[in-house]
Amino acid sequence: MKILHVAAEVLPLVKTGGLADVVGALPAAQRALGHEVSVLVPGYPAILEGAGKLSPVEGFAVPGGRLLRGRLAGDVELLVIEQAARYARPGNPYVDASGQDWPDNLQRFVLLGRVAADLCLWDPQIDLLHAHDWHAGLAPAYLRADGTRCASCFTIHNLAFQGIYAYYEYAFTGLPEAFYRFDGLEFHGDWSFMKAALSYSDAITTVSPTYAREILRPDLGMQLDGVLNYRRADLRGILNGVDYAIWNPETDRALARTYGIDKLAAKTHNKRALQQDMGLAVAPARPLVGVVSRLTLQKGMDLVPGAIESLLAADQIQLALLGSGDRELEQAFAELAERHAGNCAVSLAYDESLAHRIVGGADAILVPSRFEPCGLTQLYGLRYGTLPIVRRTGGLADTVAGYRAQAKQPTGFVFETASSRALKRVLGRVVEVYRDGPTWRGLMQNAMRCEFGWDRAARDYDKLYARIRRG
């Protein structure tokens, strides 16, 4: 098949979260299954500068710009929309330096969807357009409006971000007025990119089976549970994978010492190096809990200070946190680190290398999310024998087997309620189990044996594509 992925981020060129990891890895896994795969992205400066050799695609028109072609790892074609007025801006793909949405995000992502659909008209060999998150959400609607043969699949990575705009801005889409309806783009008197995708894609997926069920409920459906229930026959949860070429303790060059399931002792060097790097006390007897996360309510980060404070004060645990996001949360963690110097270290940054060193050096990785479509850091933790501590929700529920709750092959710690109290209780259990060396090592081994590679996910997408592709 010929597959066109459409997204606003792709590793290693532009990343704000797990979306980039997925768009960087799934296409290569599909290529390995024998498909012809391209990825279309906006031409942000980081992409134009980082992509290596790019050459114009002759004969394909982009208003006010051009389409460029390059290569991604794994023999995947990279297609970049070069359009200075919309994309030639450094920094974050979605927000300006002060954290405000770019004022022309509507036009930026209309252009992405429009070019994607134009490509499918221009190249009738493309069998399948796979759009990711709201930024690419108009592409399936354009395909439908154009009557293009190409089938469409839309993946929800996060239902919380929908790209909602007012009716007076609808004309910018260039879509027919007839699509502005309750079973089209209309959303409570406004319209949204997400709704377009949910209404007009042939298949809808999200990134874990549990999240696929959760979003059918009013409490997690983000006001779209009605549409999702209407389309539930076409909705699937396909669990993300991990790119083990990037996240592998046996080869990870960011680590002080590489290690593996048969060389577990070497992990302690990474713990010591991390403690030293981040200014923590070198205290082998205390479990070191790592966090690598956006600091937001979704991630349950507001629960952490209240849950961990007394354990930090009692020298029972250490915390190494890397993250950025909400100003108030950043402030709360900075203050926590001040109060508990030596036991709590906080880096309010985005830092790939430190992310690897935390995943390799910590004993456990904490992901206490309120909702989590899939979550990748707990999967990295599993491979590194860094036991995930997670809330039972979405992809976290699908990937971590809790100690005690599921006695068979536990791989981490799971708690139910999104409260500091519940989190405190589970952290207490972590401290207890950590003292029992053989049990902890057993958990590490179980975790490290888990397989969450991309090959399985790529095959699941194959089956789905086969159902929706047109002759």
Where do contacts with ligand GLC occur on this chain (CB under 6 A)? 17-19, 22, 157-158, 207, 240, 372-376, 395
Give min distance, CB of 370 to ligand GLC, in A: 11
Give min distance, CB of 304 to ligand GLC, in A: 18
Distance (Å, whole) CA 127 – CA 150: 5
Nearer to ligand GLC among residue 70 and residue 290 (C-beta):
290
Give min distance, CB of 5 to ligand GLC, in A: 13
**Region from 164-172, 308-316, 351-359, 397-405 binding ligand ADP, contact rule CB under 6 A:** 351-359
Among 148, 293, 318, 420, binds ligand ADP (CB under 6 A): 293
Q: Cβ distance 382 to 248 under 8 Å?
A: no
Q: What residue number has its CB nearest to ligand ADP?
A: 18
Among 18, 140, 290, 388, binds ligand ADP (CB under 6 A): 18
Among 163, 241, 300, 323, binds ligand ADP (CB under 6 A): 323
The string over 162-195, giving b where at least 16 C-beta atoms fall within 10 Å of a residue's C-beta and e elsewhere, is bbebeeeebeebebeeebeeeebbbbeebbbbbb
Give min distance, CB of 363 to ligand ADP, in A: 17
Q: Taking CB within 5 to 8 Å according to partner kind, which of ligand ADP, ligand GLC, none is near residue 207?
A: ligand GLC
Q: Cβ distance 120 to 4 under 8 Å?
A: yes
Q: Taking CB within 5 to 8 Å according to partner kind, which of ligand ADP, ligand GLC, none is near residue 337?
A: none
The set of residues, in sequence order, having a beta carbon less than 8 Å from that of 406 and lying 6+ positions away, is none
93 binds ligand ADP (CB under 6 A): no
469 binds ligand ADP (CB under 6 A): no
Give min distance, CB of 193 to ligand GLC, in A: 16
Q: Taking CB within 5 to 8 Å according to partner kind, which of ligand ADP, ligand GLC, none is near residue 195?
A: none
21 binds ligand ADP (CB under 6 A): yes
258: left (phi over 0), alpha (psi -120 to 50) or beta: beta
Give min distance, CB of 21 to ligand GLC, in A: 7
Distance (Å, whole) CA 287 – CA 433: 10
370 binds ligand ADP (CB under 6 A): no
131 binds ligand ADP (CB under 6 A): no
350 binds ligand ADP (CB under 6 A): yes
As given in the structure block, the two tokens for residue 16 are 């704000």
Give min distance, CB of 109 to ligand GLC, in A: 17
Q: Taking CB within 5 to 8 Å according to partner kind, which of ligand GLC, ligand ADP, none is near residue 319?
A: none
**Region from 87-95, 211-219, 282-290, 372-380 binding ligand ADP, contact rule CB under 6 A:** 372-380
Which residue in the block uniquely carries the two structure tokens 């609607």? Answer: 141
Among 322, 396, 427, 447, binds ligand ADP (CB under 6 A): 322
C-alpha distances in angstroms, 317 versus 220, 267, 284, 369? 33, 18, 10, 20
Nearer to ligand ADP among residue 28 and residue 311 (C-beta):
28
Q: Taking CB within 5 to 8 Å according to partner kind, which of ligand GLC, ligand ADP, none is near residue 294?
A: ligand ADP
Q: Taking CB within 5 to 8 Å according to partner kind, which of ligand GLC, ligand ADP, none is near residue 318?
A: none
Among 375, 381, 385, 402, binds ligand ADP (CB under 6 A): 375
Q: Taking CB within 5 to 8 Å according to partner kind, which of ligand ADP, ligand GLC, none is near residue 350?
A: ligand ADP
Segment 273 to 292, residues that bind ligand ADP, using CB under 6 A? 292
Residues that bind ligand ADP (CB under 6 A): 17-19, 21, 292-294, 322-324, 350-352, 355, 374-377
